[in-house]
Amino acid sequence: MESPGELVEDANSSVHDTDRLHVPRIFIVAGPAATGKSTVAKGIAATYGLPMVEGDDLHSKENIEKMSQGQPLTDEDRWGWLQEISSASLAAASPPTSPPEELGSAHPHPPGCITTCSALKKSYRDLLRDQLSVPGLAVLRFVFLTASEEVLLQRIEERENHYMKKNMVHSQIVTAEVPRTTDDGNDEDTGDEREVEPDCRVIWTDEVAPEEVVEKGIEVVKQMMLIDGSQGSESGAANDIDEGEAEGPEEELEEPEGELEESEGAAEVVEVELEA
Ligand SMILES: Nc1ncnc2c1ncn2[C@@H]1O[C@H](COP(=O)(O)OP(=O)(O)OP(=O)(O)O)[C@@H](O)[C@H]1O
Ligand SMILES: O=C(O)[C@H](O)[C@@H](O)[C@H](O)[C@H](O)CO
């Protein structure tokens, strides 16, 4: 599969500049159960006036049944669900082709959406990229939330009326492939040879209050919009994202102790315009 970076050439050759600026932005808030996806996605969606797609609502009856009985989903169980998430995100994010007459030529909302989906493995994110990171169709970005097993167990214990119980937490943690977000050049030292996923940002949530994680999510999305906006208008490379450009003054999202790569940088520009 092409990486987002490799799509640049196609984007330059096949999409007219003006069209590119109106390409919907789809942000997927990902991570294991109870990392705070719904909480964070709601905050981001409200801040930017974007519709939200709740991935949990798109599971089949069979998947819900399985998870309720404490059985982790398999890849096979997840493929169809990921397809549903792609379709629902595209439908939510795309401006209507003919806006209602009373709105004149204005769209009811800027094109884009905030979707929650665990997207635990890289192969799942790749499927979503195949469907949604397509020049002229959409720009896709991931905000991946993570937390320790201990903290997730505690959150799930305190939560009521949810099919996902404590006995599912371990499998969520074991299955999760936290995206490697930057190439720090330390592969030899760390032994981390996984492919970098430049369209992802990771937020560690242990001992961080929900409101603070929401703020971080809003900031991360702003950074990604600004990068996409400037590339969209200058080079037209709406599907490319250069990690370096995400770095700014060192205010920052704290880094977890250990090896997780963290999203960083505060954008210098405060104005946020989805359509660049
Ligand atoms: N940063 C946080 N600190 C403490 N509790 C949190 C935090 N974020 C979310 N929670 C709480 O944890 C629970 C799970 O949050 P939320 O539903 O947002 O997570 P989720 O990832 O969408 O879960 P799921 O995928 O299982 O539906 C909720 O009770 C929520 O209030
Ligand atoms: O991929 C998965 O195993 C599932 O999607 C779960 O992560 C749940 O949908 C969700 O997070 C609800 O707790």
What does the chain come to in residues? 276
Q: Is there a contact between 29 and 52 (Cβ–Cβ < 8 Å)?
A: no
Which residue among 35, 56, 63, 165 has the greatest number of ligand 2 atoms within 8 angstroms of its CB, and so is best to mutate?
56
Among the ranges given (27-36, 112-121, 130-139, 240-249), the one the predictor scored with the smallest mean pLDDT: 240-249
**Domain boundaries 4-246, CATH class:** alpha beta
Q: Which listed ligand is nearest to 68 at the C-alpha? A: 2
Q: Which two tokens stand for residue 46?
A: 């409200």
Neighbour tally for 1: CB within 10 Å: 9
- CB of residue 164 inside a 6 A radius of ligand 2: yes
Q: What three-state secondary structure class fits 252?
A: coil
- Whole-angstrom distance, CA of residue 2 vs CA of residue 217: 26
* 3-class secondary structure per residue, 198-250: CCEEEEECCCCCHHHHHHHHHHHHHHHHHHHHHHHHHCCCCCCCCHHHHCCCC
Q: Where are the domains of the chain?
A: 4-246
Residue found by looking up tokens 């635990």 in the block: 120
Query: Given this model, what pLDDT does residue 23 score?
Result: 85
pLDDT in tens, 52-78: 999 999 999 999 999 999 999 999 999
pLDDT at 230: 55
Ligand 2 within 6 A of CB of 56? yes
**Identity (one letter) of the amino acid at 225?**
M
- Confidence tier at 254 by pLDDT (50, 70, 90): very low
Among the bound ligands, name the one nearest to the CA of residue 82.
Answer: 2
Give residue 34 CA to ligand 1 midpoint distance, Å: 4
Mutate to test the pocket of ligand 2, among 37, 67, 122, 160 (most ligand atoms within 8 A of CB): 67
* Ligand 2 atom index nearest CA of 163: 13
Task: Report the 10 Å Cβ neighbour count for 209.
Answer: 9
Instruction: State the ligand closest to the CA atom of 143.
Output: 1
* Residue-level pLDDT at 20: 55
